[in-house]
Homo-oligomer: A and B are copies of this chain.
């Protein structure tokens, strides 16, 4: 019985194939790392023939670059959305704490891909534009609520705390994270006081 007349021989002309391949690539990166990402693995994950890889992309570097670009864009959007309802300084602290503890849109898997991107960008200047844009955007979000210097501090803090949390085997105290963030956010440029 043929429910679908077109089925076996070849899936001709599906226009979203490129995107599906890129999505599959992100998944493969998350699971196997950049080092373990191969044409064949991505092709299998996207359920497309191997030949599609070189047809749609000039090479593996091209595919990786596009995958990272999509991932970074998605992370930036998630990041911005996470701070959409923030009003007060206390909200910032809360939002950042949630971010670090994975209660925003991003999970450990997403962060792993981000770190793959960082490391890849360290060696491939072509990826710097992606990381550069991503960092500028994340900092811009924070600068809506705090001064530029504090924004850089909090941004760096997020990066480091998340990395340590991801690598840590034991649990990480949320209250402590909250306290740390609060200290970083508190003072503006003018002297302490409280």
Contact of A135 with B183 in the complex, beta carbons under 8 Å? no
Residue of B nearest to A151 (CB): B180
With A160-B155, A184-B183 already in contact, the answer to whether A118 and B115 are too (CB < 8 A) is: yes
**Which one of A3-11, A83-91, A121-129 contacts B?**
A121-129
Q: Within the complex, what minimum Cβ distance (angstroms) separates A158 from chain B?
A: 7
- Which chain B residues border A153 with CB–CB below 8 Å? 157, 180, 183-184
> Residues of A with Cβ closer than 8 Å to B?
33-35, 112, 115-116, 118-119, 121-123, 128, 131-132, 135, 149-150, 152-153, 155-161, 163-164, 166-169, 176, 179-180, 183-184, 186-187, 191-194
